[in-house]
A and B are shown apart, each in its own frame.
Chain A
């Protein structure tokens, strides 16, 4: 962080200021019975902020923007979640936030050396295979949850980062072509396609239709970057072909979807306000009640509705904090995924990885927000970092760590395990010098 100390401290201050502004709003407008609740919340948030700021420099990164955005969003979501239906610290969400921060560190450490990571590719496939088996065998009766005592985990969430990693590729890999019949193909692209098909089938089978578009989104990214890579720019024919195929698949999917999906696609939420359309209609009414500036933290009425803290969290936040604030929260997450635009990754592997993470996050947000607002069928997907839920937070944190890794990569050959070189390594001039012609 040489040379960035000023900017680091400046960023710390403004993150604290943003949280302070929110806490002030809670303090003055909030719905709380005793002031101690607000103090506990403020204490928890500010202590986590401070601890993170102190711990951060120990990871010698080139850039810290993603980390600041992450702590900004996570503590924002802690405040949001703590205010639903009355101010009191949501301990579970607080803990999962800390877990997410730790996962982010883990993600960074795992992903920062892409050359080493590229060699571990078989483990991604193995990991995904194991998780898919777990879904097949351990989740009871076609559901997407595995319950271990009091904890339930969602294995399909864990597939996401592995799938992003499997989709990431380097140029060198893409040049290893093999001839099959008349076509030059890269084996790995075939493997990836097979993997995607398998995952999609599995998701379809266990009716986790919310995750399906996420995987398709990630794969679309990988596909575009892999297949379209060798052609000049984006080959228009291939893009149109892929688009048409996707459209055909979507249409076919809608035609032959199981009955319960059909029901979801055609439900008119307003004529079935108290049945299937209950969550969505209540969510929309809540957004309408909140208006631009909201009813005040803790004064919302949506906390009585099932899944208010994850599936329709956008509406819950809109009602209490106002649509403006909810939009800005989404904006903050968008900045997080847009950081690679400002500070470009230094390798194709990291670039494709960043694109995969971006696809995963935006698709999930789109499914959640547009689904709860009745623009597209409603599926139970989470907004990264904002919705509560352990698996989701952990994985979102890990994927944020992947973004951090893109920003602060190490360029070392995998076999070499010595410390990171701080000094510029001059090319070796004296050894094996070839004669000039």
Chain B
């Protein structure tokens, strides 16, 4: 009886463990599904400048010089918190946050504007291009 008790407890514990493990694994599996869904919801867009691409991983993206900004542009002409990108219904919107040097879309100063593919965003001396992700078409 004692032996049996021990074995069964171990078995019950082991099945629970395995189950937990499987669920963690499925969480990782679902992560890729979630990523795909997110990309679809956000139209596979990304921001890029001449040397780097910035993925857009959540629905509010702060652009600025400050270290806590999601996209950090270390350039004195960029305000600490310069602009914020938001998405809803698959459409990205850029909102200027009272920056000193202003936000320009394709050369036009804006307070708030919907972004379209291949728009050039100018923040101070820095330029970013809003484009489709390179790997998105290959999928």
B117 beta carbon closer than 8 Å to chain A: yes
| Contact of B9 with A294 in the complex, beta carbons under 8 Å | yes
Contacts of A344 in B (CB 8 A): 57-58
CB–CB A172/B40 < 8 A: no
Contact B14 A343 (CB under 8 A): no
Contacts of B117 in A (CB 8 A): 427, 429
B43-A171 in contact (CB<8A): no
B residues near A68, Cβ cutoff 8 Å: 23, 26
Q: Is A136 an interface residue (CB 8 A)?
A: no
Judge whether B4 is part of the interface by a CB distance below 8 angstroms: yes
A322 on the interface (CB 8 Å rule)?
yes
For residue B57, which residues in chain A have a CB less than 8 angstroms away from its CB? Answer: 344, 346
Contact A324 B19 (CB under 8 A): no
Question: CB distance A335 to B58 under 8 Å?
Answer: no
Closest to A28 in B: B8
Binary flags per residue of B1-19, CB closer than 8 Å to A gives 1, else 0: 0001110111111111111
A434 to B22, alpha carbons, bound, how many Å? 51
Give the residues from 52 to 105 in chain A that come closer than 8 angstroms, CB to CB, to chain B.
62-65, 68-69, 72, 76
Contact present for A332 and B16 (CB under 8 Å):
yes
- Across the interface, which residues of B come within 8 angstroms of A244, CB to CB? none
A190 within 8 A of B: no
Interface-side segment among A37-45, A203-211, A229-237? A229-237
Contact A21 B34 (CB under 8 A): no
Chain A interface residue number, banded: 35 or more
Q: How far is the CB of A192 from chain B (nearest CB, A)?
A: 19
**CB-defined contacts of A325 to chain B, threshold 8 Å:** 9, 12-13, 16
| Nearest CB of chain A from residue B39's CB, rounded to whole Å | 8
| Pair A346/B58 contact, Cβ less than 8 Å | yes
B34 & A62 in contact (Cβ 8 Å cutoff): yes
Contact of A20 among B15, B24, B36 (CB under 8 A): B15
Q: Shortest CB–CB separation between residue A153 and chain B, in angstroms? A: 32
Q: Which residue in B20, B40, B106 is a CB contact (below 8 Å) of A436?
A: B106
What chain A residues lie within 8 Å of B17 (beta carbons)? 328
Per-position 1/0 for B101-129, Cβ under 8 A of A: 00001111000001111000000000000
Q: Which residues of B contact A25 (CB under 8 A)?
A: 8-9, 11-12
CB-CB contacts of B21-61 with A at 8 A, as 1s and 0s?
01110111111011011101111110000000000011110
Residues of A within 8 A of B58 (CB): 344-348, 351
Interface positions of B (Cβ within 8 A of A): 4-6, 8-20, 22-24, 26-31, 33-34, 36-38, 40-45, 57-60, 62, 66-68, 81, 84, 86-92, 95, 97, 105-108, 114-117
Q: Known contacts A175-B81, A335-B24, A342-B28; can you find 5 more A-B pairs with CB under 8 A?
A: A11-B22, A11-B26, A18-B18, A294-B5, A426-B43
- List 11 A–B pairs whose Cβ atoms lie within 8 Å, in order of A's numbering: A4-B30, A14-B22, A63-B30, A175-B97, A325-B9, A332-B16, A342-B28, A344-B57, A427-B92, A427-B117, A428-B91
